[in-house]
Amino acid sequence: MVAASTARPERIVVVGGGLAGLRTVEELRARGYAGAVTLVGAEDRPPYDRPPLSKRLMAGQLDDTTLREDVQTLGLELRLGETATGLDDGVLRTDRGEHRFDRLVLATGATPVALPGQGGQRFLRTMDDALALRARLRPGMRLAIVGAGWIGAELATAAAARGCRVTVVEAAATPLAAALGGEIGGLTAGWYAAAGVDLRLGQAVDSVQPGGLALAGGGWLAGDEVVTAVGVRPATGWLEGSGVALDNGVAADEQLRTSVPGVFAAGDCAAFWSLRYRRRLRFEHWDVALRAPAVVAANLAGAAEVYDPVPYFWSEQFGRMVQYAGQHQGADRMLLRGDPAEPRWGACWLAGGVLVALLAVDSPRDLGQGRRLIEAGTPVDPARLADPAVPLRDAAAR
């Protein structure tokens, strides 16, 4: 069991050199914290941004997504290429030593799920993954992507534009089935064909073998490269037995405090209690890694702020900006807003007459206005909601 002192923090250690880790340090300094901060990150690179890896970097428009060149001006001890391995009383153990702390922030993110098999499979999680994969994308090369989720779709977009022969194999009946549900996810299937991508739905993969994919049912898909994009898991294995409670990630309360006093969690690894949704939630959203650290930093300094967002995610795929806010699980009604055959459209999910989630395709204004409606919990008029000529801010029930 780990214990931390209750006095004012003088030595804070942050584990994980991604967006959430860096933002925690930034927020601490912005709030005037002048004590020692150590940032321990397993990757050799200073903190960088992940969303462009599957977008502008993969498209060749960018080679580096480092978040800030002046990271040392934050006055931190930056321990790159160092992996945390466990916790003792007030001490973080790593593969290179130990770090004493009186407060600790867990921001270790998530790691991709691999498929069984002897063949080579790539992932798209790190900048090194992205640069190595991009170097392989050549006109005519056969790229097999497993998973038609957000990352699979974005990679397919970039690879097809670079002239690769792209096949996406998806076990579910539609793309984005887990994220958006089959009905709405299915409306994106045509985007693949229009981009020249071969999308194979309802096709599970048994294993990755040298030269391609062994498909469930006995089929074979040849590929010069295989990229597995079937999801991620919170990077929390090293915390097993540490006394920090885990529950599909680091279990945290609404103030992002873990079960151990003085230890907080933020970003992809944190499964926090949502007062809004009355359950524990873990998001793999950039917006969460960006904003939750402000709450952690405030609470590290003794405040009792609550993190309770309407979650927001975006994706850029097949020439479209796709944005989603809210949570549609539990909705009792779904309405289309506009015609999915048109360039701009959306979907609205309602529960008890209130907007609870929104998908906006190439409609950023809808996203902004819809997110505010969701936050406010105002009852809405379904007819106005479904009419794209009515601004969403005017869709409240009268």
Ligand X SMILES: Cc1cc2nc3c(=O)[nH]c(=O)nc-3n(C[C@H](O)[C@H](O)[C@H](O)COP(=O)(O)OP(=O)(O)OC[C@H]3O[C@@H](n4cnc5c(N)ncnc54)[C@H](O)[C@@H]3O)c2cc1C
- Chain residues binding ligand X by CB under 6 A are 15-21, 40-43, 50-51, 53-54, 83-84, 107-110, 124-125, 151, 235, 238, 267-268, 284-287, 289, 313-315
Q: Phi then psi for 180, rounded to 5 degrees?
A: -120, -5
- Minimal distance in Å, beta carbon 312 to ligand X? 7
Task: Report CA torsion sign: 357, 351, 273, 185.
Answer: negative
DSSP secondary structure letters along 151-212: HHHHHHHHHHHTT-EEEEE-SSSSTTHHHH-HHHHGGGHHHHHHTT-EEETT--EEEEETTE
Coil, helix or strand at residue 272 = strand
* Nearest to ligand X of 277, 314 (CB atom): 314
Closest to ligand X by CB, 132 vs 383, is: 132
For residues 45 and 384, which CB has a smaller minimum distance to ligand X in the complex? 45
State in angstroms the smallest separation of the CB of 130 from ligand X. 7
Task: Give least dist CB 286 to ligand X, A.
Answer: 4
Handedness of CA 92, 94, 99, 103 (dihedral sign): negative
Question: In terms of C-beta density within 10 A (0-12 exposed, 13-18 middle, 19 or more buried), how is residue 386 classed?
Answer: middle
- Asked if 271 and 236 count as a contact pair (C-beta separation under 8 A), the reply is no
Q: How far is the CB of 6 from ligand X (least distance, A)?
A: 26
Answer whether 256's CB lies under 8 Å from 105's CB: no
- Residue closer to ligand X, measured from CB, 20 or 214: 20
Residue 355 in 3-state DSSP? strand
Q: How far is the CB of 285 from ligand X (least distance, A)?
A: 4
Vertex 388 angle, CA 383 and 389, to 5°: 95
Q: Find, among 114, 82, 113, the residue nearest to 99 by Cα.
A: 82
- Report the residue number, 6 or 248, with the smaller CB distance to ligand X: 248
Of the two residues 124 and 252, which places its CB atom closer to ligand X in the complex?
124
Measured from the CB atom, the residue of 205 and 270 that comes closer to ligand X is: 270
Cβ atoms of 398 and 381 within 8 Å: the answer is yes
> Closest approach of Cβ 42 to ligand X, in Å?
3
Instruction: Tell the smallest beta-carbon distance from residue 293 to ligand X (Å).
Output: 9
